[in-house]
Structure 1
């Protein structure tokens, strides 16, 4: 593929033969041979009409598609990121216009390639905009473009065209998460759950894992920890063992979710995946050591904020406090067997002060315990007059989750 003519001949052959795999390869913006062919042609003829060249070789509408693609390659080679994205957008729109009326899915690989091109070039264009102190907008445009592609490939009676549906959903998730427009993900999840959507297990494992990972993260933000646990566990278990980085990334959200549900990870698991930031937190929860928990959260606060899990982990103080209360109850039951179901709030306050919670007073401790009772973490009632907690004689500490 040394010349533009060779490149266009190869493109014409792929189109005429309905060779989707070759077409997708030729439409890759990172295909070095194609970039050199376009560069060389433009260098030898500055007034070259790419549209006319493509029309002379390739049947419509692919002549227009490749004309825009050649312009994209030229812009990319000259480091004009924004122009490259604009041309890529035009290429994709021209392709979708024909693809939606096609009664086969022979070009589905090319559709997937356009989506990858758009995402990559949008990132490049936005990086250029930031460097030039301008507002980055191309990733947002890429999201709108991908939604156009999604609608035209999913709303069809041609079942084969729907093979790319989950891939497009995943790509849109990645864009929406980066743009922090998470509310846009909800409609996509609803679409995946429709009976008209292809069977989930029929999609490639990589797409299923990535989809579950993002749905799990969304559930974390919605405080739906049981749903988050289900999807993140699926993503972790289905992710191949060799993909250590992805399994670790999933655990960074799955571990906080399990902690919030009262399920403590083993030290061996945390060490295996290098999740040192959770070791002290898990130890603190086992011990009911509120001070140690506070110190661990403060130590790794920046990490957890960057991951978006800090607010989830902050809630673990309630679990640590309940664990401490259980230990104080055990002490009271051993020392005063006749009143085994009663816990002095003053004694509980002393335990909290010993752990560094000096700012708390008896009234606040009473409120904390009352809140635990209201949330059904403890079964019993508070006697304000006697300043004691009277626990149920049957299962006073229900399972956390």
Structure 2
């Protein structure tokens, strides 16, 4: 037996016997540094099962053997075979979970995440033949959902409970469901979570909380429940560590559109801190603040591809109404806060920012502002006047139902 493989199995045995979950997880990761030394030994897959049976107790012999197979196949770019071996590994581990306590969670995280990665590789290899369907990722989701079930239904005492793996597994499943565009499946997870007696979310690792709140915020966003979406995304952004710049920008991709709809603009300091975010939202925010509708439309066109990819285009587009409200409010202020304003004044303001519109279009825009609640008043078509409410004619945007 190659020396490094002998050392690996001895170390594996000791870690499992001593319930060292963190170190054992590293020994079962496809990305850990131990993998290269093993691969350099040119492991014979025909002998792996027997070698592991001779050195390890059940179920660790089967788990280690599956890991070694997945490792070799993945190195040879045989992704389907690697996926099948990893699937067996996860299922062997799941069957063993009833006899394990909280210490095993790091292992659970690693092997399930590696299953997701390998499933993605297989699907990427076969997307054309599968007509764009991600069949292996769907299969992996079903297997991973069982790991979630083993966590959330654990009845061990709180200190050793595998329930503390629940939010990590939810984050992993939500990531897959969003990738598959099957966000409706997230509702089943949330129902199970609501029906279970769980420790406070504050007792879970910060990384698990951030991931959960990020995806929950995105779910609320998709359901157009913007108040709840903002609350969850804001919590996720605040808790996400400053060093995790990529994750913070990912949260901002949905948080900023939600805030724009409410008329809350990102600060200059925030945009300067996140250049990629500034590239998408800098000109949009500036146009809203100035009430420059044309500049807003131009900025929206420039960012269109990115916003569509992020799934936020239509939400950001709604903020055009706020830019227009700002412009019309400026007319009101310039005219001395008069409650009776000639419609041609608004037409002139639109032309000033580069929009060529006739009187009929101007009336329609004002009527739309009144209908949406951005302006309180009514139009006198015959006299071409906008008659404003004497009390709060331009209500605070945050008070307006979106």
TM-score of the aligned structures, taking structure 2 as reference length: 0.88
RMSD: 2.6
- Matched-pair contact (CA < 8 Å) for 2:69–2:82: yes
- Residue matched to 1:108: 105
In 2, distance between residues paired with 1:365 and 1:11? 74
Query: Using a 3 Å threshold, how does the CA distance of structure 1 residues 241 and 39 change in structure 2: closer, same or farther?
Result: closer
Q: 1:140 aligns with which of 138, 141, 146?
A: 138
User: In the alignment, is residue 176 of structure 1 matched against residue 177 of structure 2?
Assistant: yes
Q: Please list, as runs of the form range in 1=range in 2, the aligned pairs for 1:206-245 lying within 5 A after superposition.
A: 206-245=207-246
Q: CA deviation at 1:300?
A: 1.7
- Matched-pair contact (CA < 8 Å) for 2:218–2:254: yes
Query: Using a 3 Å threshold, how does the CA distance of structure 1 residues 104 and 244 change in structure 2: closer, same or farther?
Result: closer
Unaligned runs of 5+ in 2: none
Q: CA deviation at 1:35?
A: 6.2
Deviations 1:237-287 (A, max 9, x none): 222223233223322322222111011222232122211332221221122
- Residue matched to 2:346: 348
Aligned residues: 391
- Residue matched to 1:198: 199
User: In the alignment, is residue 313 of structure 1 matched against residue 307 of structure 2?
Assistant: no
Q: CA deviation at 1:198?
A: 2.2
- Residue matched to 1:156: 154
Unaligned runs of 5+ in 1: 335-339
In 2, distance between residues paired with 1:222 and 1:272? 30
- Matched-pair contact (CA < 8 Å) for 1:7–1:34: no
In 2, distance between residues paired with 1:299 and 1:42? 53
Please list every run of at least 4 consecutive aligned residues from structure 1 whose deviation after the TM superposition is greater than 6 angstroms: 131-134
User: In the alignment, is residue 284 of structure 1 matched against residue 287 of structure 2?
Assistant: yes
User: In the alignment, is residue 327 of structure 1 matched against residue 330 of structure 2?
Assistant: yes
Q: Please list, as runs of the form range in 1=range in 2, the aligned pairs for 1:1-400 lying within 5 A after superposition.
A: 2-31=3-32, 33=34, 36-37=37-38, 40=41, 42-43=43-44, 48-99=46-97, 101-102=98-99, 104-130=101-127, 136-158=134-156, 159=158, 160-194=161-195, 196-274=197-275, 275-333=278-336, 340-358=338-356, 360-400=357-397
Q: CA deviation at 1:128?
A: 2.8
Query: Using a 3 Å threshold, how does the CA distance of structure 1 residues 330 and 177 change in structure 2: closer, same or farther?
Result: same
Give the secondary-structure state (helix, strand or coil) at the position aligned to 1:106. Answer: helix
Query: Using a 3 Å threshold, how does the CA distance of structure 1 residues 225 and 342 change in structure 2: closer, same or farther?
Result: same
In 2, distance between residues paired with 1:7 and 1:279? 53
Give the secondary-structure state (helix, strand or coil) at the position aligned to 1:343. Answer: strand
- Matched-pair contact (CA < 8 Å) for 1:35–1:77: no
In 1, distance between residues paired with 2:43 and 2:253? 49
Query: Using a 3 Å threshold, how does the CA distance of structure 1 residues 3 and 277 change in structure 2: closer, same or farther?
Result: closer
Q: CA deviation at 1:196?
A: 1.4
Q: CA deviation at 1:90?
A: 0.9
- Matched-pair contact (CA < 8 Å) for 1:35–1:73: no
Query: Using a 3 Å threshold, how does the CA distance of structure 1 residues 134 and 366 change in structure 2: closer, same or farther?
Result: closer
